[in-house]
Amino acid sequence: MDKEIDQLQPERLWHYFLEICKIPRPSKKEEKIAAYLSEFAAKHNLPCNIDETGNVLITKPATPGFGNRRGVILQSHLDMVCEKNSDTRHDFDVDPILPRIDGGWVKATGTTLGADDGIGIAAALAILESDDIPHGPLEALFTMDEETGLTGAFALKPGQLKSRILINLDSEDEGQLFIGCAGGKDTVATMPIETDEVPAGHVAYKVSLTGLKGGHSGDDINKGLGNAVKLMNRFLWNAHETFEIALADFNAGNLRNALAREAFAVFTVHRDNEKLLLAYVNDYFNDIRNEYRATEPDISFLAGVTGMPDAVLNSALQADLLDALYACPHGVIAMSREIPNFVETSTNLASVKFIDKKIVITTSQRSSVESSKKDIADMVASVFYLMQADVVHSSGYPGWKPNPGSEILRISIEAYRRLFSQEPQVLAIHAGLECGLVGAIYPGMDMVSFGPTIKGAHSPDERLEIASAMKFWALTLEVLKHIPEEKA
């Protein structure tokens, strides 16, 4: 497995990607990958600093003949999204990722691959290691906890970085150069669980919704994919209206920045309604399978008898919960009026959990317009205020305003043309990039973001296109070679 990937070109890029796959690096638990980077720097006699937040900065002097070039920051993040299929046994705190080649792609085995942003880390390390890649002064910045809070980027301080050009190695579509991104914030609703006794004459059922693709809550929000929270809630709402079910457990989705892939619920129903319920299960499955036949061909919806729960939700709370989840918006809210086919504002109903005697509902909002970001977050909050939930907004993070006159953009466009004899796309992205925070801390920082093609990010279907990794590598080196001289 490793040997096959190790034979891919460019060899050192894939070598370091495999090394990174062996190192657990969940968000907020990046100590092992930070230690690896520190050891790497010591081995290659490169200055390395780990700040109090956990960000790693490795610097490298210019290669001979490039000492008068402007300095460049190569930026990537240390953590990865840790998602796995429910039938996969994997402990992200200790187990390595198991990559494999599948056609023209590299995938993991039942888990996220971590190419977001392991391939960016690998590219920086391969450049730092090399003694024959021409470049000016380099700063390789590896930030922590990008996926769950942008904690590392938030903690950067003025003066910590010396260069004024930044290449973010965290984009996921080869041939596209990004010069702007959406800002975002999270909205979380909680309420205490109140219970009733299981109604007399009831039997218990568990329903499972699986097989959805999931994906990135920004990049994939407009692709017509299913949301496991919404689809399960739709079933429960209608089942309650028709059969008066009593809900005992609802567990759907996982991470705030991932589209919900799986959902599970336990409820009771009067035994006289069992046959009608099972007929409805089949009808509902046929409905959603037909609705999502183009985008979710592997969707599965199953029901079966399970052990009787100790209690069920209070009937009034159940009605409020199912109503609120049905009413809660999810998906694209507005398209840009200025950039064709660009999502401006969206919201992701990410998860519902029954945890520690509380119902916890997690959502995230994104927009490239700050006022619209606040508006959609308030809209989501208002739905849960109606059920008397406690609603908390995160502080959020800023967007990155596009600069079409950027010099590093011009250099990147020209490099792409020379290498591939075609025009790259210049875009903004409906996802959060750390460039927004870097730009707020370092006004005037000239930035561009690009990367290889990664599909299914934030889901176990995550895969990295092999051919695009070669082009990503070639573009990075070509851009570094053509950074202009420092202005007098």
For 2-181+399-481, CATH number out of 3.30.70.260, 3.40.630.10, 1.20.140.10, 2.60.40.10 equals 3.40.630.10
The answer to whether residue 79 is catalytic is yes
- The domain made up of 185-393 has a fold known as Alpha-Beta Plaits (3.30.70)
395 exposure class (CB count in 10 Å sphere: 0-12, 13-18, 19+): exposed
HSE value, Cβ hemisphere, 13 Å, CA-based, for 436? 25
Question: Out of 30, 79, 139, 219, which one is annotated catalytic?
Answer: 79
What pLDDT digit, counting tens, does each position of 137-165 carry?
A: 999 999 999 998 899 999 999 999 999 99
Q: Which of helix, strand or coil describes residue 366? A: strand
Task: Specify the pairing of strand 165-168 against strand 72-77.
Answer: parallel
Q: What's the pLDDT at 286?
A: 98
Q: Which residue has the tokens 């520690």?
A: 356
Please say whether the beta carbons of 368 and 183 come within 8 A. Answer: yes
| SS percent in the chain: helix, strand, coil, step 5 | 30, 30, 40
| pLDDT above 70 coverage of the chain, percent | 99
Please say whether the beta carbons of 368 and 428 come within 8 A. Answer: yes
The kind and range of the H/E element at 57 are: strand 56-60
Question: Out of 30, 83, 116, 146, which one is annotated catalytic?
Answer: 146
DSSP 258: B
Among 95-99, 300-304, 399-403, the range scoring the smallest mean pLDDT is: 399-403
The answer to whether residue 146 is catalytic is yes
DSSP 201: T
Q: Which residue has the tokens 């064709």?
A: 340
Adjacent-strand bridge partners of 270? 202
Please say whether the beta carbons of 123 and 477 come within 8 A. Answer: no
471: pLDDT confidence band, cut at 50, 70 and 90?
very high
What pLDDT digit, counting tens, does each position of 22-32 carry?
A: 999 999 999 99
What pLDDT digit, counting tens, does each position of 101-123 carry?
A: 999 999 999 999 999 999 999 99
CA distances in angstroms from 313 to 88, 162, 482, listed in the order given: 30, 57, 64
pTM summary value: 0.78
User: What is the residue extent of each domain of the chain?
Assistant: 2-181+399-481, 185-393
Please say whether the beta carbons of 437 and 217 come within 8 A. Answer: no
For range 340-353, the mean pLDDT: 94
